[in-house]
Structure 1
Amino acid sequence: MIVPPPPHDRKSGRLPRFKLFSPILAGATLKERLIGCIGALIGICVTGLVCGFVFGDDPQLPLIVAPIGASAVLLFAVPASPLAQPWSIIGGNTISALIGVSVTYIVADQMLAIGLAVALAILAMSLTRSLHPPGGAAALTAVIGGAAVARSGFWFPFIPVAINSLILVGLGMVFHRLARRQYPHRPGVAPVNTHATADPPPALRVGFNSEDIDSAIARLNETLDVSREDIDALLREVELQALIRQRGELTCADIMSRDVVTVPGDTTPDHARYLLLKHDIRTLPVLDENEKLQGTVGLRELAGKEPGSKLPISAAATARPSDPAIGLLPRLTDGATHAVVILDDDGKVVGIISQTDLLATLAKSLSHNGLSEIMQGNGQGI
């Protein structure tokens, strides 16, 4: 077989260098691929063993269908893909197999039947939001699967296709949890206005918005294997990382307040309210008996609390002293978080950064950079 040469790099005019194990998908490192291989090995083997135990040695019933192998590729190699989510795997395979079986009963010509089965499977999966590429193979298998599939009839989409899919998805959930990977994938959450007003949230008042994303996708004229919500989250993370690269020289340790007012977990709401008003602050870190952070409390949580009631503790936003201070920007502008608690490696409070602290830092940084640019410009003009 003759392998065509790779295309030239338009900018440099040079051929791109081929790298062994170079990922074709973002984030697909060699480590991630090896984890995916192990997951597929376990998933397919256990699915076959379970189905063999349930179905026995009945030669008239397929033990495991071939499309499940393709489902395993998506489930374990690209678990964040919308095409690899539980409903896509279970619904896509089952619905497509049902379409395939139905077509065999209606269309006598096999060549026409195989085309209709795959085409209608794509349409059905699209309408049910269960698009799954192996579903096309499931529909095809239902048409040309041979005597065993033909004898199964309308049972084939459920036994073994749905059973195979259910077992594989269950194993995938357990495997990804043990591997500390997120599955099912939860799409990124767009910023929201927490004040119940008509204004857009602060993060959406400048920069790109949802309409810009829709326009860019429409202009590309491509169907992307990533959800719109994930595109939004990725672009916002890119913006943050670029900002950290440009202005990330200051760390949390540089700007944090070190004399932190804290309260123990058994403090009364009245005393917590007194400290907040006395020190004119909006957030109090709450410590447990080991002096470690338990959460935070503010005037919002204390509103309406009766004397003698239990202290209402909320989850705390935290960071490390060595983290870039500019990296706190998304949390301190989400409309709900007023301060980030800085913890050491032992989980003890060493500082706190409020919205005011970060705003003052940004103002100084912008002022300093502006002055530097003016001085550089004057120097160049002399």
Structure 2
Amino acid sequence: MSAPFWPTPQPRSRRIVSHCRKSLISACEASCAILLLALLTQWTATPLLMTPFAATSILLFAFPHSPLAQPRHVLGSHMLASLIGLILANLWGLSPYTMALGTGSVVALMLLLKIVHPPATGVPIVMLLSGMRDWHFLIFPVLTGCLLLLIIAFIANNLRSSQRWPLYW
């Protein structure tokens, strides 16, 4: 008798162990990435970390093959959202209207430009609430922090996965 066409499913206990292992590895990678950015920020006195990067880390390390976790989406959306946040902060400052306009603008432009990355949606609100109006914010922490996060994700994802990351740039 020949083997069945479909593979034999793994026992439930093996799937649970595999899921727990993947969850712990992803959590460690995300923690290490944020720790590295925080330590570099402390050592260099240069801002390299912002709150939305924590949300970005779950996509980069737990779901690296999602379109939302590809470099173009991560870097493009964070840069776009920061630019919108800076424009609104410099034109009108903090208000419920600028926060709503910033969020809506980021969503619309990410969809139009096909660079959707949900964690970046909060960047204009973070900027408006912090009073950030300096154009250097685009370089430090956004560009530099994103690039460092992507480098860490590149190393981590290619060390542990049989599939290559990123799927596309």
* TM-score past 0.5 threshold: yes
Instruction: Work out the CA distance in 2 between the residues paired with 1:138 and 1:100.
Output: 7
* Among 101, 112, 122, the residue aligned to 2:107: 122
| Contact preservation (8 Å) 1:100, 1:121 | no
Q: Is it true that 1:160 corresponds to 2:145 in the alignment?
A: no
| Contact preservation (8 Å) 2:81, 2:123 | yes
**Alpha-carbon distance change, 172 to 108 in structure 1, aligned in 2, over 3 angstroms:** closer
Q: For residue 85 of structure 1, what is the aligned residue in structure 2?
A: 70
| SS of 1:130 mapped into structure 2 | coil
Structure 1 letter corresponding to 2:82: A
Q: For residue 48 of structure 1, what is the aligned residue in structure 2?
A: 38
Shift of 1:128: 2.4
Instruction: Work out the CA distance in 2 between the residues paired with 1:86 and 1:53.
Output: 26
**Aligned residues with identical type, % of pairs:** 25
Shift of 1:63: 4.6
| Contact preservation (8 Å) 2:48, 2:142 | no
Deviations 1:25-69 (A, max 9, x none): xxx822221121111011111122233334x2xxxx645110000
Which consecutive residues of structure 2, in runs of 5 or more, have no partner in the other structure? 1-14
Higher strand share: 1
Point out the structure with max Rg over C-alpha. 1
| Contact preservation (8 Å) 1:101, 1:154 | yes
Instruction: Work out the CA distance in 2 between the residues paired with 1:50 and 1:35.
Output: 22
Instruction: Work out the CA distance in 2 between the residues paired with 1:110 and 1:98.
Output: 17
Instruction: Work out the CA distance in 1 between the residues paired with 2:126 and 2:85.
Output: 8
Instruction: Work out the CA distance in 1 between the residues paired with 2:59 and 2:161.
Output: 18
| SS of 1:45 mapped into structure 2 | helix
| Contact preservation (8 Å) 1:51, 1:164 | no
Deviations 1:99-130 (A, max 9, x none): 11101222356110000011111122222221
Shift of 1:80: 1.1
CA-based RMSD of the aligned residues comes to 2.2
Which structure 2 residues correspond to residues 327-346 of structure 1 after superposition, within 5 A? Answer: none
| Contact preservation (8 Å) 1:52, 1:63 | no
Which structure 2 residues correspond to residues 146-225 of structure 1 after superposition, within 5 A? Answer: 146=131, 149-150=132-133, 153-181=134-162, 182-185=164-167
Shift of 1:87: 1.2
Q: For residue 81 of structure 2, what is the aligned residue in structure 1?
A: 96
Q: For residue 105 of structure 1, what is the aligned residue in structure 2?
A: 90
| Contact preservation (8 Å) 1:88, 1:131 | yes
Deviations 1:327-377 (A, max 9, x none): xxxxxxxxxxxxxxxxxxxxxxxxxxxxxxxxxxxxxxxxxxxxxxxxxxx
Which consecutive residues of structure 1, in runs of 5 or more, have no partner in the other structure? 1-21, 187-382
| Contact preservation (8 Å) 2:94, 2:128 | no
Shift of 1:157: 2.3
Which structure 2 residues correspond to residues 242-321 of structure 1 after superposition, within 5 A? Answer: none
Instruction: Work out the CA distance in 1 between the residues paired with 2:26 and 2:86.
Output: 32
| SS of 1:75 mapped into structure 2 | helix
Structure 1 letter corresponding to 2:90: Y
| Contact preservation (8 Å) 2:92, 2:98 | yes
Structure 1 letter corresponding to 2:21: K
**Alpha-carbon distance change, 112 to 160 in structure 1, aligned in 2, over 3 angstroms:** same
Say which structure, 1 or 2, has more relative contact order (CA 8 Å, 6+ apart): 2
